[in-house]
Amino acid sequence: MSKTANKGFRKNFLFIILIVAFVSLPLATMVFADTTSTQFSHQITEGILSVDIVDGAGNTVVSPSVGFSSVSYSFVAQNTTGTLGTASEKIRVTNATTTAAWSLNIAATGGVSAVWSDGGTNTHPYNDVTSADNGRLTVDPSGATLAAVDVGCTTTDITKGTADTFISGTVNSIDLLTAGALAGTGCRWDLTGVSLTQRIPALQEVATYTLGMTLTAL
Amino acid sequence: MKRPKNLRKSLSVVLIVPLFLSFILVQLVLADTTQTTLNQLINAGTLAIDIVDGTGTSVVSPSVAFGAVTFSFDPQDATGTLGTASEKIRLSNPTTTVAWNVSMAATGGPGTTWTTGTYTYPFDSTGGADTGRLTVNPTTGTITPIGAGCTNTSVSLGASGFFLNATTNSIDIMAATTGADIGCRWDLTGVSLTQRIPAGQQAGSYTLGMTITAL
């Protein structure tokens, strides 16, 4: 065999080897591998809408309270003021549902007939129908601060309520916040700085008065 | 004319002898024997993986439903089980090769996400377990050999592991090494699955396609 013919033979032989190798590789895969598929699934169900009063760390405050400014006995009607929602007692609304709209309001726990009371015989109204000077509580959320708690959550489409005064039978609850259809879901918001002003009737007896209030998210 | 008696007798002998001889000849012509060997070739089959029901029939659309969880502002776990009585992972080895391995990976590859169609989150996040990782723990599983003479010798369960994009893209769940039987099938059930769901993940029905490979 000539040198040229030998070279050609080797070239052809190498080509055949390569072809065989190329074809056999997929065949080997076909023989030795197999797959099957399955679908994993899980459900995250929506949570609930809730409201709570939490401390700076986000923990529930066991016995939340609002201390109004103290006033002295007076022969004329006077105001005492307080703030609902502070750094250590934030009003936290949690919307773990898939429904964007909700509202938050405040009302007396004892209803329209509730009164400020020292636990004894001294009382005065928070919602007097006759006159502001007979005892009325004004709530003003307009100057409050609303902050979204979670990353990706904003205060978009959540509006603060306007100042309003409790009047029995007419204004039994006052809106603090209202979320519209564009508000986020799966979010939490903290409300602080809601102004409270109680008009105390003239000649109200010296005592420590309390009034239970309930915040409702719905 | 009356034939002679001897002539008739001779004629009978002449007729009977050829008849007798012809019987023998016929036998010689019509009877014969020979021998042959029957050959049967059984080729090795192919290694196969399937998900079968309790009767061994392929499950058309196998699935694993994790336990439902409620929306949470904290990371939480959803758990499931791969391989149940009605959806067993069946490895068939009709080959002559002893060693094989079964692994699991996302059908869509690394970076695939759990999805509702609207909301998504990872199964292999590199940003921390709490941002979405799927842990597969085969050590809780059970391997059952199918067929007489088949055993679990040299067939083992994989170790617990979690998917981590580009680092752990597949997880071994079962393997056979030298000493394992051939011409056997094995059913695997009870592989624990735990998906860490990120905090604040939106409510919905999430799915993730997974592929099990034997090779």
- Tell me the DSSP string of A110-174: TGGG--EE-SSS-EE-SB-SS-GGG-EEEEEGGG-EEEE-STT---TTEEEPPPEE-BTTTBSEE
The two tokens of residue B209 are 């396609």
Overall average pLDDT of the B160-182 stretch: 98
Checking if the pLDDT of A25 tops 50, the result is no
Residue B55 maps to a domain: yes
Residue B209 maps to a domain: yes
Any chain B CB within 8 A of the CB of A33? yes
- Whether residues A39 and B67 touch (CB distance < 8 A) is answered with no
Residue type for B177, please?
A: T
Overall average pLDDT of the B201-213 stretch: 97
Any chain B CB within 8 A of the CB of A100? no
Overall average pLDDT of the A176-181 stretch: 98
Res A14: pLDDT: 59
Residue B131 maps to a domain: yes
Res B18: pLDDT: 58
Contact (CB, 8 A) for A92 and A190 = yes
- Whether residues B68 and A42 touch (CB distance < 8 A) is answered with yes
Residues of B in Cβ contact (< 8 Å) with A93:
none
Overall average pLDDT of the A56-74 stretch: 98
Checking if the pLDDT of B41 tops 50, the result is yes
Higher pLDDT, B5 or B41: B41
Any chain B CB within 8 A of the CB of A31? yes
Residue B58 maps to a domain: yes
Checking if the pLDDT of B20 tops 70, the result is no
C-alpha span between B81 and A39 (Å, rounded)? 12
Checking if the pLDDT of A168 tops 70, the result is yes
What confidence category does residue A103 fall into, taking pLDDT thresholds of 50, 70 and 90?
Answer: very high
Contact (CB, 8 A) for A103 and A181 = no
Q: What domain count does chain B have? A: 1
Which of A27, A34, A188 is most worth mutating to test chain B (most B CB atoms within 10 A of its CB)? A34
- Whether residues B207 and A41 touch (CB distance < 8 A) is answered with yes
- Whether residues A33 and B204 touch (CB distance < 8 A) is answered with no
Residue B9 maps to a domain: no
Checking if the pLDDT of A156 tops 70, the result is yes
What confidence category does residue A15 fall into, taking pLDDT thresholds of 50, 70 and 90?
Answer: low
How open is the CA angle B33-B38-B44, to the nearest 5 degrees?
175
Count of beta carbons in the 10 Å neighbourhood of residue A87: 10
- Whether residues A34 and B213 touch (CB distance < 8 A) is answered with yes
pLDDT per position as a tens digit, B81-139: 999 999 999 999 999 999 999 999 999 999 999 999 999 999 999 999 999 999 999 99
Residue B114 maps to a domain: yes
Q: Is the dihedral of CA A117, A121, A127, A132 positive or negative?
A: negative
Residue A170 distance to chain B (closest CA, Å): 38
What confidence category does residue A11 fall into, taking pLDDT thresholds of 50, 70 and 90?
Answer: low
Res A30: pLDDT: 45
* A-B Cβ pairs (cutoff 8 Å, strict): 141
Residue B205 maps to a domain: yes
- Whether residues A47 and B87 touch (CB distance < 8 A) is answered with no
How open is the CA angle A194-A196-A202, to the nearest 5 degrees?
175
Res B36: pLDDT: 87
- Chain B: residue whose CA lies nearest to A94: B73
Checking if the pLDDT of A19 tops 60, the result is no
> What are residue B50's phi and psi, to 5 degrees?
-155, 165
Enumerate the domain spans of chain A.
Answer: 49-217
Residue B23 maps to a domain: no
- Whether residues A45 and B203 touch (CB distance < 8 A) is answered with yes
Overall average pLDDT of the B140-161 stretch: 97
Residues of B in Cβ contact (< 8 Å) with A94:
73
pTM over 0.90: no
DSSP state of B127: S
Output b/e per residue, A159-184; b: 16+ Cβ within 10 A. bbbeebbbbbeebebbbbbbbeeebb
End-to-end CA distance of chain B: 103
- Whether residues B61 and A152 touch (CB distance < 8 A) is answered with no
Which of B73, B120, B123 is most worth mutating to test chain A (most A CB atoms within 10 A of its CB)? B73
Contact (CB, 8 A) for A120 and A108 = no
Give the domain extent around B172.
Answer: 48-214
C-alpha span between B114 and B209 (Å, rounded)? 9
Higher pLDDT, A208 or A29: A208
Checking if the pLDDT of B24 tops 70, the result is no
Res A26: pLDDT: 45
Res B33: pLDDT: 86
